[in-house]
């Protein structure tokens, strides 16, 4: 089978498995090496030490899985509408209102790995990653033709916007590659940069995590800095502001209809008093299967206290 036919089969199978977009690229060194190196050197990863540990592999994606030569990059829509504000509740980012995507997407990704192996021989490798691991996912997605890197640093697909997960299967199967997405469709727009509640963009396409509400509420373990707490407003987990304002999302984002993520409308807003006082076992039962498990009970209680404080101030 030639590389073009193999690529077509892989793409068809990925779509059958529920992925929205699929593209293929090679694993040559990252052309935007300086962007990552400067970001790390300037401390913008904050306490995400894994970003420093993964540096060399992110810059040389061919070193992630020895022998791999191709990335099959797929996207999976998670868009759903925000409920209106309601007294005593905190807002959860759109991606987190259902099953943790690492586990939810492992089922279709394992099937895609198996399919890719079935097209090769005994030496064919295929290893899937979603978020976990040193894979420069947005960079590879742009190189696989799936969209451009917006000024908010998100990968934006001109047909659907940016509310999707990216996953990657690294393989040595001979697959025809796609043309990269070269255009920058942001133009003169800067809505995301101006809307960020904490001014976390130091320049276009550069985000200082230490100022980002997503980082502070999900990844950061200490106390939320007092100067940033009011900007969290009612956001108790993650932040979507720089995507909500993006015209490409306003125009093209469609609610996800997949059952894979098991999105639950009641997880979009959480009662803050209950959360601030929740027991360990109740937290596990209610949120242990969702992305809220990452900050865990302690992190979510901390976030709830901050939002309750913000509510009292207004």
The residue at minimum Cβ distance from ligand SF4 is 150
- Residues 12-26: b if buried by 16+ CB within 10 A, e if exposed: ebbeebbbbbbbbbe
Residue 299 interaction partner, one of ligand B12, ligand SF4, none, beta carbon < 5-8 Å per kind = none
Least CB distance from residue 184 to ligand B12, whole Å? 6
Instruction: Please state the closest distance from residue 235 (CB atom) to ligand SF4, in A.
Output: 8
Q: Which does 138 bind (CB under 5 to 8 A by kind): ligand SF4, ligand B12, none?
A: ligand B12
Per CB under 6 A, does 149 bind ligand SF4? Answer: no
Segment (H or E) for 120: none
Closer by beta carbon to ligand B12, 45 or else 119: 45
CA–CA separation, 289 vs 101, rounded Å?
10
Secondary structure of residue 157 in the 3-state scheme: strand
Contacts of 11 (CB under 8 A, 6+ apart): 22, 24
Site for ligand B12 in 31-90 (CB under 6 A): 32, 35-36, 39, 48, 51, 58
Query: Which one of 26, 63, 82, 131 is the catalytic residue?
Result: 131
Cβ partners under 8 Å of residue 122, min gap 6: none
196 binds ligand SF4 (CB under 6 A): yes
Q: Which two tokens stand for residue 293?
A: 């498990």
Token look-up 């994606």 returns 61
> Is 131 among the residues known to form the active site?
yes
Per-residue burial over 27-60, b if 16 or more Cβ lie within 10 Å, else e, is beebeeeeebeebbeeebbbebeebeebbebbbb
Residues in touch with ligand B12 (CB under 6 A): 30, 32, 35-36, 39, 48, 51, 58, 93, 95, 130-131, 135-139, 142, 149, 152-155, 162, 164-166, 205, 207, 209, 212, 214-215, 219, 238-240, 242
Residues in touch with ligand SF4 (CB under 6 A): 150-152, 186, 189-192, 196-198, 200, 207, 212-214, 239, 241-242, 245-248
């Amino acid at each position: 089978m030639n590389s073009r036919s193999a690529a077509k089969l892989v793409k068809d199978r990925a779509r059958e498995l529920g992925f929205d977009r699929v593209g293929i690229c090679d694993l040559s060194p990252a052309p935007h090496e300086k962007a990552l190196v400067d970001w790390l050197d300037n401390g913008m990863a904050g306490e995400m030490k894994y970003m420093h540990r993964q540096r060399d592999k992110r810059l040389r994606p061919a070193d992630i899985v020895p022998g791999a030569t191709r990335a099959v990059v797929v996207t999976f829509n998670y868009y759903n509408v925000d409920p209106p504000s309601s007294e005593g509740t905190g807002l959860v980012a759109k991606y987190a209102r259902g099953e943790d995507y690492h586990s939810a997407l492992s089922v279709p990704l394992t099937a895609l790995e198996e399919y890719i192996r079935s097209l090769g021989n005994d030496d064919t490798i295929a290893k899937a990653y979603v978020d976990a691991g040193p894979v420069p996912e947005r960079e590879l997605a742009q190189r696989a033709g799936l969209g451009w890197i917006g000024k908010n640093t998100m990968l934006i697909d001109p047909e659907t916007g940016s509310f999707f997960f990216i996953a990657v299967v690294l393989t040595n199967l001979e697959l025809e590659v796609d043309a990269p997405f070269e255009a920058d469709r942001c133009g003169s727009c800067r809505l995301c940069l101006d809307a960020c509640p904490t001014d976390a963009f130091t320049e276009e396409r550069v985000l200082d995590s230490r100022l980002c509400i997503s980082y502070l509420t999900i990844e950061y373990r200490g106390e939320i800095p007092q100067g940033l707490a009011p900007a969290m407003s009612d956001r108790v987990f993650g932040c979507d502001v720089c995507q909500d304002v993006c015209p490409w999302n306003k125009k093209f984002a469609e609610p996800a209809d997949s059952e894979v993520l098991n999105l639950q409308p009641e997880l979009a807003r959480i009662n803050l008093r209950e959360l601030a006082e929740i027991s360990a076992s109740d937290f596990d039962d209610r949120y242990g299967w969702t992305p809220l498990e990452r900050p865990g009970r302690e992190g979510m209680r901390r976030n709830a206290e901050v939002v309750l404080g913000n509510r009292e101030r207004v």
